[in-house]
Every structure is written in C-alpha cells, then in structure tokens.
Amino acid sequence: SQQGEEDPQALSIQEGENATMNCSYKTSINNLQWYRQNSGRGLVHLILIRSNEREKHSGRLRVTLDTSKKSSSLLITASRAADTASYFCATDATGANSKLTFGKGITLSVRP
Amino acid sequence: SQTIHQWPATLVQPVGSPLSLECTVEGTSNPNLYWYRQAAGRGLQLLFYSVGIGQISSEVPQNLSASRPQDRQFILSSKKLLLSDSGFYLCAWTDPLAGGETQYFGPGTRLLVL
C-alpha cells in the first residue's frame, strides 16, 4: 500500500530558485527518508529524519517533519540544473529490517 | 567500500519465458537485501526482502520468487513471465550493524515482457 504521497507530482523551476517538495503519510513512523533518482538509474539516499526530530540539514537540503500532521517537506536551496531528477519520500514504520514504503515521487526539472 | 551490482542491465523476454535477475553486494557482510519493482512513472513496490541466507520474506503475491543462495547474492526468478511483470527492478541493501536504516540501491534491471 502507498504510505507516502508526494506533492506536487511535478515541479519546474529556474536555476537558482528554491524547490520545495512535500510528503504526507498515513501511519506512525520511526523515520522518514528522501531519495533521489536520476532517469533510468537506481535511487540515492539523501537524508533521514527520525520521528523525534523536527528539522535536519545537509548541504543545500533542508528536511522538516511534522508528526502531528504526518507530513514532511524537502527544500533544495539555490537549485542547479544537476538537481533535475525524481525525488521520493519513504517511510519506515516498523523500525525492523528497514522495510520502507515509497511514494510515487516528484519530478523536478531545473531550467538552466 | 561497498558496491552493489545488478545484471543484466536490460532484458527483453517473451511472455511465458523464465526469468533470473541477479544482485550481488561487495564489501560488506550479512546485509539485509531487498527486491523492488518500479512501474513506469510510479513509486517502488517492495517485492521481497531477506535478512540472511535462505531467509526470504514475500511482500506481495505474484508469480515471482526470490532466493539467497549466498550471503551477498540475491536472485529474483520467475518460471513464466507475464506482461504485467514488465518494469524496472531494483535491488537494495542495508547494513543491520550500522542501524540498517539507509538503503543503498543498485543500478537496476529494465525488463520488457512482450
């Protein structure tokens, strides 16, 4: 079943702008992760935020988590053309064996 | 450093033919291993996961099966492919000794069933 639902489905921005992507989920989680996928490639882990954390940073990435609203957002600041990819949120509800449930993904296009 | 390999990269198979996709991990021991399928423009669906040799858990009923004959080898198989088996198959691993939370993905196998 689909746990994470990303919003919007597609986003097109100009290089240098910020990109904000949202994810909502349905059940309690241990952690929420964001992954990136370039076209035709495997996924790459970007950042993990635990259920007891509210915000986390990694380079140009900022992730927030609101467990009361069951939602998360991924902000990419000062976007670059190389950020063009699909972005997925994934939730770990069990805490055992890292069984992740992925959303359908957001397609981000950064225009040079 | 750890690496994960999948082969073949691309496969075109007729309906009813058998399937064998292979995934191997190097540079780690006792990984948890996962098989996902990604339909075009969709998210990932977990098919199987394994916490050790010979230990396979199936997440969805289907005509696919998985095996783990060696610690770092994970195989996805089918006796008779269906059209609906077409998709992008991804293998991933986690290190349970490091918390086992982050998944590391292989490059994927694109399967087209005709």
Using CA atoms, how far apart are residues A111 and B92, in angstroms rounded to an integer? 31
The answer to whether residues B23 and B103 touch, using CB atoms and an 8 Å cutoff, is: no
Mean pLDDT of B87-106: 92
- With cut-offs at 50, 70 and 90, classify the pLDDT of residue A1: very low
Strand pairing class (B10-13; A106-111): unpaired
Q: Per residue in A44-99, pLDDT tens? A: 999 999 999 999 999 999 999 999 999 999 999 999 999 999 999 999 987 666 78
Query: For position B60, what pLDDT does the model report?
Result: 81
Task: Judge whether residue B65 has pLDDT over 50.
Answer: yes
In angstroms, the separation between the Cα of residue A102 and the nearest Cα of chain B is 6
In angstroms, the separation between the Cα of residue B111 and the nearest Cα of chain A is 12
Task: Judge whether residue B42 has pLDDT over 50.
Answer: yes
Task: Judge whether residue B66 has pLDDT over 70.
Answer: yes
Share of chain B above pLDDT 90, in %: 83
Query: For position B97, what pLDDT does the model report?
Result: 84
Mean pLDDT of A31-47: 95
In angstroms, the separation between the Cα of residue B14 and the nearest Cα of chain A is 22
Instruction: Kindly provide the b/e burial profile for residues A64-88, where b requires at least 16 CB atoms within 10 angstroms of the residue's own CB.
Output: bbeeeebbbbbebeebeeebbbbbb
Using CA atoms, how far apart are residues B106 and B93, in angstroms rounded to an integer? 9
Whether A61 contacts chain B with CB within 8 A? no
From B58, which residue of chain A is nearest by alpha-carbon distance? A99
Mean pLDDT, chain B, whole residue set: 94
Residues of A with Cβ-Cβ distance to B94 under 8 angstroms: 97-98
One DSSP character per residue, chain B reads --EEEEE-SEEEE-TT--EEEEEEEES-SS-EEEEEEE-TT--EEEEEEEEETTEEEE-S-SSEEEEEEETTEEEEEESS--GGG-EEEEEEEE-GGGTS-S-EE---EEEEE-
